[in-house]
Structure 1
Amino acid sequence: MSDPAPPHRRAVLSGAGALALSGCATLSGAPARQTVWTFDRLADIGGERTTVEGAPALIDSPYGRAVRFDGVDDALFIDSHPLAGAETFTFEALFRPDGGAFEQRWFHLAEEAPAGQPPSQTRFLFEIRVVRDRWYLDAFTRGPGYNHTLIFPERLYPCGQWFHVAQTFDGTMYRSYVDGVLQGEHPIAFKPQGPGQASVGCRINRLNYFNGAVRQARFTPAALAPDRFTRR
């Protein structure tokens, strides 16, 4: 991903500044606010309080420093749900899957239920499925009135390489992409999610750990066309 602003925090950009810094525009061409998290550190990701579990490590990548997860017990927990309140969205990430367990849930945005209420099941997930030395993407979102997985086992990619992945919703259609190539789409009755937390390296309930590295994520409350995804 391109990284024109200070890497540890590009936080929320708006108006012409967002367009100029990130090449970000909606399908209609209007600029949109966005949040960018760069994983070049183990604290204060995106300026948010970050809790480290296990021993994730900083490594060099072709795009700058990244965080490496061991697939056993490494994880980061971040006190923010960057797409909370968004009616449409683009959720992007630059990552390197390194093989390992079949099911790996490596990026989780979770709505937090109000105090005294049952745990919320509303969430976004990026997952992968590993088949020997290859993987395929699982993009997922769930909330009141919607629950859909975009998963296509025939679309396999090699482990040990860097990839850009994205999931988007334009008001009607939910889509997923790998390196800007559409994996699949399905209409959903999406409703905005509430504030919450994120986990990187595992599911929020500490299952399905990730073996690989994450460099950056970008969250936009608008559906971007693939030519407006973050460049790498």
Structure 2
Amino acid sequence: MTLNRRAVLAAPLGLAACASLPVAPTANQTADQIVWTFDRLSAIGGETTQVEGAPQVIASPFGPAVQFDGVDDALFIDRHPLAGASTFTFEAAFRPDGGAFEQRWFHLQSDEAPGGPGTRIMFEIRVVEGGWYLDAFVKGEGYNKPLIDETKLHPLGQWAHVAQTFDGTTYRAFVNGVVQSEAEIAFKPQGPGRASVGTRINRVNYFNGAVREARFTRRALTPGQFTSPLR
């Protein structure tokens, strides 16, 4: 896989950053892929949003992005874009800027009756001295699996591409196209629901940083097929 490396300015913090996002021919939304571009606060991907706190639309090297303050900024979207998918790829381009240790910054949640398993797919990070590491997480009936490797640190203040995939057998997490962790799971398709960006859906573990784009594909892509907002 080819990585594109260029120096960028991480607005508005003024941090020098090197973007190492996987580059593939960009594609428009297709029958098996949904694209959410965070270039506004309303109608993300054509979906109604509920805005909390004061997230800001900022400039990024890839176009407008939404910045979250790590305190109370969040977007809530009334859709689980991977509901019904038996295989999937969940990608996002984001810039973590430091802050609290636990940050649960992208949460897809199925609607369930009380007492259900808490069916969800999440992107989280852990911020430590020297950078951050990825925590990808999936949970549902018969499966409950975090993918974490705390030895694989990445720099703060830089744009990164993250992905998680399930190919029918194996669940994998990636940063900039490189596998971070993987495991076999007994995944079952998740039901309709909603999403939160910038916080866990129950409004804890807020995210300090920016998000440019997310892509949801109903099949498992390889790193060479990952897409990014880089134009």
How would you bin the TM-score normalised by the shorter chain? 0.7 to 0.9
CA distance in 2, matches of 1:58, 1:94: 15
CA gap 1:99/1:133 in 2 versus in 1, 3 angstroms: farther
C-alpha contact (below 8 Å) 2:67/2:210 kept by paired residues: yes
Structure 2: stretches of 5+ with no match in the other structure: 1-23
- Partner Cα separation in structure 2 for residue 81 and residue 168 of structure 1: 16
Paired with 1:32 and 1:173, the residues of 2 have a C-alpha distance of 24
Query: Which residue in the other structure is 1:186 paired with?
Result: 183
Instruction: After TM superposition, give the deviation of residue 132 of structure 1 in Å.
Output: 2.4
1:172 paired residue among 169, 173, 194: 169
**1:74 maps to which residue?**
73
CA deviations over 1:115-167 (Å, ceiling 9, x no partner): xx445500001000001240000000000000000000000000000000000
Change (3 A) 1:119 1:77: farther
Partner of 2:160: 163
Deviations 1:10-45 (A, max 9, x none): xxxxxxxxx985299xxxxxx861000000000011
Percent identity over paired residues: 67
In structure 2, the residue matched to 1:200 is: 197
For 1:217, which of 205, 214, 217 is the aligned residue? 214
Decide whether aligned partners of structure 1 residues 79 and 120 sit closer, same or farther in structure 2, where only a CA change above 3 A counts. Answer: farther
Contact 1:99 1:132 in 2 (8 A): no
The aligned runs of 1:113-152 (5 Å cut-off) are 113=112, 117-118=114-115, 121-152=118-149
Give, in whole Å, the separation in 1 of the partners of 2:116 and 2:26: 38
Aligned equivalents of 1:131 and 1:192: distance in 2?
Answer: 33
Structure 1 equivalent of residue 54 of structure 2: 55
Residue 188 of structure 1 aligns with an amino acid whose one-letter code is I
Decide which structure has greater helix share: 1
Task: Give how far 1:113 is off.
Answer: 1.5
Provide the TM-score with structure 1 as the length reference. Answer: 0.85
CA RMSD of aligned residues (A): 1.8
- Residue 154 of structure 1 is aligned with which of 136, 139, 151? 151
Q: Which stretches of structure 1, 4 residues or more, deviate above 4 A after TM superposition?
A: none
Equivalent pairs counted in the alignment come to 206
Letter of the structure 2 residue corresponding to residue 38 of structure 1: T
1:173 CA drift (Å): 0.2
Query: Which residue identity does 1:202 align to in structure 2?
Result: T
Normalising by structure 2, report the TM-score: 0.86
Residue in 2 that maps onto 1:88: 87
CA deviation map 1:169-214 (0-9, x unaligned)? 0000000000000111100000000000000000000000000000
SS of residue matched to 1:127: strand
